[in-house]
Chains A and B, each alone.
Chain A
Amino acid sequence: DADVTQTPRNRITKTGKRIMLECSQTKGHDRMYWYRQDPGLGLQLIYYSFDVKDINKGEISDGYSVSRQAQAKFSLSLESAIPNQTALYFCATSDSRTYGDEQFFGPGTRLTVL
């Protein structure tokens, strides 16, 4: 079984719709992250959470919001989707007690906004 899961894996939606992407982990990690990846480019951090009561904006948080419902769950919302939010979205986790802060990524959600 995958340690970091994302749902849905693919989603096509229309401009103006509200979308929620969900992430769950069974690794017992305290830190969780949401990244966006555009074709041929690197990863950009949207939001991150170092524990359940801690939420921080990343590089590109405008147009996005998050919720850390439990240590194992971190969801990303697009309140009113727009076409330039079409991208591949990754959730990741890490353990603050681990040297090097290695991040473990979920399989990704491919979002298309028409």
Chain B
Amino acid sequence: GQSLEQPSEVTAVEGAIVQINCTYQTSGFYGLSWYQQHDGGAPTFLSYNALDGLEETGRFSSFLSRSDSYGYLLLQELQMKDSASYFCAVTYKNAGNMLTFGGGTRLMVKP
């Protein structure tokens, strides 16, 4: 089946930069999305990459390389409030336009 791989946990200090990687099964898909979820909360959309390259939105950036079946979320100037789980997701063309989520990366930001 379709699957996405992410590290389960990442720890970083306040003010630092962290990169969360996502690898996916090579097949036709429309784009790679990232969602943030705080403990007890609902997932919220962060970014979407349809084309290769870097998309920047404030402190967060997302990157996609279709040739490498790989993407990442880059968080800069980390703040304590960035402690959350981050999920990558793709819509595979042969899966009825369903969004498939990775297992999530739990980011812990320490002072």
Interface residues of A (CB under 8 A from B): 33, 40-45, 48, 50, 56, 58-59, 90, 99-108
* Chain B residues within 8 Å of A108, by CB: 42
Known: A50-B97, A58-B98, A105-B44. 16 other contacts (CB 8 A): A42-B101, A42-B103, A56-B96, A59-B98, A59-B100, A90-B42, A99-B50, A100-B48, A101-B48, A101-B99, A102-B33, A103-B45, A104-B45, A105-B43, A107-B42, A108-B42
A103 neighbours in B (Cβ, 8 Å): 35, 43, 45, 99
Instruction: Output the least CB separation between A95 and chain B (Å).
Output: 12
Q: Are B43 and A90 in contact (CB under 8 A)?
A: yes
Instruction: Say if the beta carbon of B87 comes within 8 Å of chain A.
Output: yes
Q: List 6 A-B contacts (CB under 8 A).
A: A33-B99, A41-B103, A56-B96, A58-B98, A99-B48, A107-B42
Contact between chains at B45 and A45 (CB < 8 Å): no
Task: Report A-chain residues with C-beta under 8 Å of the C-beta of B45.
Answer: 102-104
Contacts of A33 in B (CB 8 A): 99
Q: Is the interface of A mostly helix, strand, loop or mixed?
A: loop
- A85 and B87 CA atoms in complex are apart in Å by 22
- Minimum distance in angstroms from B26 CB to a CB of chain A: 20
Q: How large is the interface on B (under 10, 10 to 19, 20 to 34, 35 or more residues)?
A: 20 to 34
Task: Name B's A-contacting residues (CB within 8 A).
Answer: 30-31, 33, 35, 41-45, 48, 50, 87, 91, 96-104, 106
Which chain A residue has the least Cβ–Cβ distance from B6? A42
Q: A40–B105 Cα gap in the complex (Å)?
A: 9
Q: Write the nearest CB–CB distance from A61 to chain B, whole angstroms.
A: 11
- Across the A-B interface, give the 6 residue pairs with the lowest CB-CB distance, nearest first: A100-B48, A105-B42, A42-B101, A42-B103, A43-B101, A102-B45
* Smallest CB separation, A106 vs chain B (Å): 6
A62 to B17, CA, bound (A): 42
Q: CA separation between A69 and B30, bound complex, in Å?
A: 29
Q: How far is the CB of A37 from chain B (nearest CB, A)?
A: 9
CB contact between A100 and one of B42, B50, B96 (< 8 Å): that residue: B50
CA distance A7 to B108 in the complex (A): 31
Q: Are A45 and B44 in contact (CB under 8 A)?
A: no
